[in-house]
């Protein structure tokens, strides 16, 4: 991760807990199992990618590994989105997986933030500002929509906060991964 180490460790914790929760939920119907497995892969992959580079320098093995794993996950999500009832969710997984591929590719083009190369010159982040901005807008809208579904405005206006159930915890995990994705894109 290119940002401050504290942000990296917070993201590692958030994403690892989210991925672990999804792994615990993987039992059940086939459609839910696929979606939950994709959530677990995304959460755990984000946790590994967010480890500060001072602790674990993921170059040269990290970017190709992340590219292959998340490229395959994105293609799988696109294939699963055809003709299923959870088409929007599979498409979201495809966008998330391809965003992970994009971030992995940006790791190959240079470090970021405080990294210095041979001769002491700082590396330039490799992300494309337009694509990074589009992904940030997508995940910002996703976070706001998920938050609106998680805590309905009617309940807030009435002064009641609903007790979260399994569906709400799943949405909270997806919300935390969306926030994590935003934070990771900010460090490009």
Name the β-bridge partners of 148: none
Residue 142's H or E segment, with its range, is helix 129-150
Candidate from 8-22, 43-57, 136-150, 153-167 with smallest mean pLDDT = 153-167
* Mean of all residue pLDDT scores within the chain: 81
Q: How far apart are CA 85 and CA 64, in angstroms?
A: 32
Please tell me the predicted confidence (pLDDT) of residue 154.
56
Whether the per-residue pLDDT at 63 is higher than 50: the answer is yes
Whether the per-residue pLDDT at 121 is higher than 80: the answer is no
Q: How far apart are CA 116 and CA 126, in angstroms?
A: 14
Q: How far apart are CA 18 and CA 173, in angstroms?
A: 6
Whether the per-residue pLDDT at 155 is higher than 70: the answer is no
Residue 135: count of CB within 10 angstroms of its CB: 23
Please tell me the predicted confidence (pLDDT) of residue 29.
58
Whether the per-residue pLDDT at 9 is higher than 90: the answer is yes
Task: Please compute the mean of the pLDDT values over residues 167-185 and round it to a whole number.
Answer: 87
Whether the per-residue pLDDT at 111 is higher than 50: the answer is no
Please tell me the predicted confidence (pLDDT) of residue 59.
79
Per cent of the chain over pLDDT 70 is: 77
């Amino acid at each position: 991760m290119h940002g401050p180490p504290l942000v990296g460790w917070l993201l590692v914790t958030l994403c690892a807990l989210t991925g672990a929760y999804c792994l615990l939920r993987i039992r059940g119907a086939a459609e839910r199992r696929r979606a939950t497995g994709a959530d677990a892969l995304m959460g755990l992959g984000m946790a590994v990618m967010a480890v500060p580079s001072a602790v674990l320098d993921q170059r040269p093995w990290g970017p190709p590994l992340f590219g292959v794993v998340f490229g395959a996950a994105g293609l799988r999500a696109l294939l699963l989105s055809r003709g299923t009832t959870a088409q929007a969710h599979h498409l979201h997984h495809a966008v998330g997986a391809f965003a992970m591929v994009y971030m992995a590719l940006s790791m190959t083009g240079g470090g970021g933030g405080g990294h210095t190369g041979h001769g002491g010159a700082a590396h330039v982040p490799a992300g494309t500002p337009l694509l990074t901005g589009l992904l940030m807008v997508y995940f910002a809208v996703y976070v706001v929509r998920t938050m609106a579904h998680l805590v309905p405005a009617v309940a807030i206006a009435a002064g009641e906060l609903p007790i979260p159930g399994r569906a709400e915890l799943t949405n909270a995990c997806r919300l935390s991964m969306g926030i994590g994705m935003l934070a990771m894109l900010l460090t490009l």
